[in-house]
């Protein structure tokens, strides 16, 4: 129990004792008022957090800017509930205060007596600070630490997959993808990452069908699915379709420091596609290295033209689908599955 929590408990006790004690009413009111002031003072970090959170969700840019100082003040005062600490630190990381956010998360994760969920969430969020600061190995280290435990959630998979893709470790990415599908962990970001996997496998038709399904449901505040749709359209030489998808990304995305694909990259891609010759070279570059745009970088231009053979793609994907159906027939639990189930009280 931290200092502010101790003060709160003691103040509440004094408040209740005075309230029922047979002392002069004036004295009683004075002591109760003092205890109430102490209670409010001990929870001032929470007050700063709630106020900052309200400002952060405002459409007023000045209030949003002010919210960052509020989150920093709340963390500085200490005594926040763990979930508030993780939330405040994560928002700071997303808004240019990676060092401050990471320090708060590392401190929380190192405290004794914290639950596996709290420690894991703190480490997963701290990994974003490393990634923003171009410390990819540091980001992966946090993810690997959590992976050694029984804890699993969508943020672990999303962050881990993002880092493995940037590192170019497709084997680790595929293993992670297999795991979240096996455990039936779902989110729009994970579905989009499955689209990436099909793109990297050369299963462009399947990837196109998947991304159309995802984007038919709703609009998303992150650029990735729109950019991946654009990449698929480029594969089929549909420049207009690619530009339309990229413009949708600009219209819907709320860019921040954690955005894999930036506004600048999308705008540059649109400008390139407006010229027929540069568009051709970008199409070829995307074909040779689709991972480049996935990781938020424009692919190198290429003069090596290619021809899409849709009939061949369809036959290849039919073979892959049959193999996946056969492999998915085995539902026996492995030792790892049993260990995970036990850790979560499910066996």
Lowest mean pLDDT, pick from 2-11, 69-78, 125-134: 2-11
Given a cut of 70, is residue 39 above it in pLDDT?
no
From the list 200, 206, 279, 202, the residue with the least C-alpha distance to 246 is 279
Least confident window among 70-74, 76-80, 195-199, 288-292: 76-80
Cβ atoms of 241 and 233 closer than 8 Å: yes
Q: Among 9-13, 222-226, 314-318, which stretch is predicted with the lowest mean pLDDT?
A: 9-13
Which pLDDT value is given to residue 323? 52
Instruction: Please answer whether residues 101 and 129 qualify as being in contact, where contact means their C-beta atoms are separated by less than 8 angstroms.
Output: yes
Residue 188 has pLDDT above 60, yes or no: yes
pLDDT at residue number 333: 41
CB atoms closer than 10 angstroms to residue 150 = 15
Average pLDDT over residues 135-145: 98
Dist CA 44 CA 26 (whole Å): 27
What phi and psi values does residue 306 have, to the nearest 5 degrees? -140, 160
**DSSP labels for 90-158?**
HHHHHTT-HHHHHHHHHHHHHSTT--HHHHHHHHHHHHHHHHHTT-HHHHHHHHHHHHTSS---HHHHH
Assigned token pair, 217: 């449901």
Structure tokens at 114: 């914290």
What pTM, to 2 d.p., does this model score?
0.80
List, for residues 99-132, the tens digit of each pLDDT value.
999 999 999 999 999 999 999 999 999 999 999 9
Q: Are 265 and 296 contacting, i.e. CB atoms less than 8 angstroms apart?
A: yes
DSSP letter (8 states) at residue 300: P
Q: Residue with structure tokens 């036990």?
A: 342
Q: How far apart are CA 298 and CA 43, in angstroms?
A: 48
CB atoms near residue 1 (< 10 Å):
8
Query: Which of 84-98, 194-208, 297-311 is predicted least confidently?
Result: 297-311
| CB 339 within 8 Å of CB 150 | yes
* CA–CA distance, 65 with 138 (Å, rounded to integer): 29
pLDDT at 17: 60
CA separation, residue 149 to residues 336, 339, 343 (Å) = 11, 10, 9
Alpha helices in the chain (DSSP H): 3-20, 25-42, 44-56, 61-77, 82-94, 98-110, 116-132, 136-147, 154-167, 170-182, 188-201, 204-217, 224-235, 239-252, 263-273, 276-288, 291-294, 310-327, 335-343
Quote the tokens at residue 266.
């999308």
Mean predicted confidence (pLDDT) in 68-79: 92
- What does the angle CA 57 – CA 256 – CA 286 come to, to the nearest 5 degrees? 140
**pLDDT score of 345 more than 70:** no
pLDDT at 45: 80
């Amino acid at each position: 129990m931290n200092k502010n929590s101790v003060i709160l408990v003691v103040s509440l006790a004094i408040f209740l004792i005075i309230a029922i004690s047979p002392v002069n009413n004036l004295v009683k009111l004075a002591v109760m008022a003092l205890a109430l002031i102490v209670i409010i003072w001990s929870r001032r970090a929470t007050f700063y957090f709630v106020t900052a959170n309200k400002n952060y969700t405002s459409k007023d840019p000045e209030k949003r800017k002010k919210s960052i100082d509020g989150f920093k003040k709340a963390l500085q005062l200490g005594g926040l509930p763990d979930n508030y600490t993780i939330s405040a630190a994560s928002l700071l990381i997303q808004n240019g205060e990676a060092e401050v956010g990471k320090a708060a998360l590392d401190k929380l994760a190192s405290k004794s007596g914290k639950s596996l969920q709290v420690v894991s969430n703190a480490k997963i969020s701290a990994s974003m600070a490393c990634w923003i600061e171009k410390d990819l190995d540091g980001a992966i280290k946090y993810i690997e630490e959590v992976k050694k435990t029984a804890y699993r959630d969508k943020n672990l998979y999303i962050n881990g997959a993002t880092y493995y893709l940037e590192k170019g470790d497709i084997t680790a990415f595929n293993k992670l993808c297999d795991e979240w599908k096996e455990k039936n962990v779902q989110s729009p970001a994970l579905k989009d990452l499955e689209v990436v996997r099909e793109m990297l496998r050369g299963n462009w038709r399947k990837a196109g069908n998947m991304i159309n399904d995802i984007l038919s449901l709703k609009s998303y505040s992150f650029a990735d699915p729109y950019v991946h749709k654009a990449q698929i359209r480029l594969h089929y030489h549909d420049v207009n379709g690619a530009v339309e998808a990229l413009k949708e990304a600009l219209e819907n995305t709320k860019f921040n420091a954690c955005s894999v694909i930036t506004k600048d990259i999308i705008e540059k891609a649109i400008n390139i596609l407006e010229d027929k010759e540069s568009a051709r070279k970008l199409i070829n570059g995307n074909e040779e290295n689709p991972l480049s745009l996935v990781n938020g970088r424009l692919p190198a231009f290429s003069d090596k033209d290619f021809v899409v053979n849709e009939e061949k793609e369809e036959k290849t994907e039919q073979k892959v689908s049959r193999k996946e159906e056969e492999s998915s027939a085995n539902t026996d639990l492995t030792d790892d599955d049993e260990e995970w189930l036990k850790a979560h009280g499910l066996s």
